[in-house]
Amino acid sequence: MKFKTGTPLDKLLDGGIDSDSVTNIYGPAGSGKTNICMLAARENFRNGEKTLYIDTESNFSFERARQIEPKFDEFMKSILLKNVYTWNDQREVVKSISDVENISLIIVDSLVALYRMEIDDENYQSINKQLSTQYSILAKLARNLKIPVLVTNQVYSSEGKIEMTSRLISKYWPKTIIELKRTHGDNNRVAIIRKHRSLPEGRFVEFEITSSGLKEIGKFKLF
């Protein structure tokens, strides 16, 4: 089953993100990750459903929410917004998700921001285990409840190559991985499939960030 996000990703993914697994969207700051999260929450609201939205970077913009959804007050009532400021708080919030009732979409933006601040040369084994546990919880919830889980991930440069933060862990757990990149023009971006259960890697769609959402600016193809 597919969940429509109300973005060009729906066409790229043949109908939307999978409703029984974790979808990971990664890219540099300003590439459109939070826009996709907020538009997915808007689509869920328009379906008459509620969203659990875990914000670890204070990126959720009320001004942007007003831009993308005229029924702003009703939209915000459909979102259980959890602002998280420490890694330990994030761990506790993720562990308690199963206690939250009547949600049909889980968003974590970003799953690794606080992880990056916490990890060091001495604790990396335990912190990586904790991140893997969070992914495991999210994947189990998606599978058992048949609801989509959307997480975002940051990037870093290694020997001239762009990699996801927590590369191995973040590649293992999600069934779908989408990379976002800036292209020509201030508001133009590209979304590229990097992992999927049934669609080819390298397939991509270009889009533009507009005042009301995201607009496709080209047919999907292989990158």
Q: Convert the pLDDT of each residue in 148-186 to its tens digit.
A: 999 999 988 766 777 788 889 999 999 999 999 999 878
- pTM as predicted: 0.94
What's the chain's average pLDDT? 94
- Decide: residue 102, CB within 10 A, 0-12 exposed, 13-18 middle, 19+ buried: exposed
Residues in the chain: 223
Q: Domain range holding 140?
A: 2-222
CB 111 within 8 A of CB 152: yes
Residue 220 confidence class, pLDDT cut points 50, 70, 90: low
- Decide: residue 62, CB within 10 A, 0-12 exposed, 13-18 middle, 19+ buried: exposed
Number of domains making up the chain = 1
φ, ψ for residue 213, nearest 5 deg: 160, -135
For position 30, which CATH number holds?
3.40.50.300
